[in-house]
Chain A
Amino acid sequence: KAGVTQTPRYLIKTRGQQVTLSCSPISGHRSVSWYQQTPGQGLQFLFEYFSETQRNKGNFPGRFSGRQFSNSRSEMNVSTLELGDSALYLCASSLGGTGNREQFFGPGTRLTVL
């Protein structure tokens, strides 16, 4: 069974630009969560999508948005990039939600904002 994939793996952007990251979950998984990791911080929850609906949202500004398609693939968009958005962005999928089910993480997208 193929694992969670994320594209692109690396990205360099400049301030003010926007970026779209993609995540393809494990086949059959309907929940996709997105996390941000910056140096010295733990994984910070961005949002979770389940069956094309945003089910939970973390404490991030509205510049961070996402969506999920009918095949469960998910995209995350960051508009008007700031230097502080430089981070590793991880997505994770699970069968029915994060609850008592383990999450399967992708390799991440490393975003650098110059």
Chain B
Amino acid sequence: ILNVEQSPQSLHVQEGDSTNFTCSFPSSNFYALHWYRWETAKSPEALFVMTLNGDEKKKGRISATLNTKEGYSYLYIKGSQPEDSATYLCASMYGGSQGNLIFGKGTKLSVKP
């Protein structure tokens, strides 16, 4: 059974702090890695989709890196703001473009003003 692990499970930071979380996944037969942000009472929203080893993507203050050889991805948030408070989910896909996503349990981020 393929397992995607995220750490930490939860994180509390002060406004202005920079933070990062980890997503670990089996590297064998890997195809793609997705990051989503899920705010309370809203739908999960896509942040990044990455496929290539060494990929780095950025959206505003949020960026992500991918290491497919060792099976991990990092999500970084620079200068956290209260509106960044959400659960961040990663999901990996195996066996080609028509496989299904396997989600981690998420990292819940709380940013205090």
Instruction: Provide the A91-108 mask, 1 if CB < 8 A to any CB of B, else 0.
Output: 010000111111111111
Q: B29 on the interface (CB 8 Å rule)?
A: no
Cβ of A42 and Cβ of B106 under 8 Å apart? yes
Which B15-46 residues have a C-beta within 8 angstroms of A?
Answer: 31-32, 34, 36, 42-46
Complex: chain B residue closest to A103, CB-CB: B46
Tell which of A58, A99, A104 touches B97, judged by Cβ atoms closer than 8 Å. A99
Residues of A within 8 A of B (CB): 3-4, 33, 35, 40-45, 48, 50, 55-56, 58, 90, 92, 97-108
- Minimum C-beta distance from A84 to chain B (A): 18
Interchain residue pairs with CB less than 8 A apart (22):
A4-B43, A42-B103, A43-B89, A43-B91, A43-B103, A44-B103, A45-B102, A45-B103, A48-B100, A56-B98, A90-B44, A98-B99, A99-B98, A100-B51, A101-B49, A102-B46, A102-B49, A103-B34, A106-B43, A107-B42, A107-B43, A108-B43
Residues of B within 8 A of A (CB): 4, 31-32, 34, 36, 42-46, 49, 51, 89, 91, 93, 96-106
- Minimum C-beta distance from A47 to chain B (A): 8
Rounded to whole angstroms, the CA-CA distance of A99 and B50 in the bound complex is: 10
Q: Assess A102 versus B34: contact at CB under 8 Å? Given A42-B106, A90-B43.
A: yes
Cβ of B103 and Cβ of A55 under 8 Å apart? no
Q: Count of A-B contacts with CB under 8 A?
A: 70
Residues of A within 8 Å of B99, CB to CB, are 56, 98-99
Residues of B within 8 Å of A107, CB to CB, are 42-43
Rounded to whole angstroms, the CA-CA distance of A104 and B49 in the bound complex is: 12
- Minimum C-beta distance from A67 to chain B (A): 17
Complex: chain A residue closest to B95, CB-CB: A56
Tell which of A4, A44, A99, A104 touches B32, judged by Cβ atoms closer than 8 Å. A99
Complex: chain A residue closest to B33, CB-CB: A100
Rounded to whole angstroms, the CA-CA distance of A50 and B100 in the bound complex is: 12
Rounded to whole angstroms, the CA-CA distance of A97 and B43 in the bound complex is: 19
Residues of A within 8 Å of B31, CB to CB, are 99-100
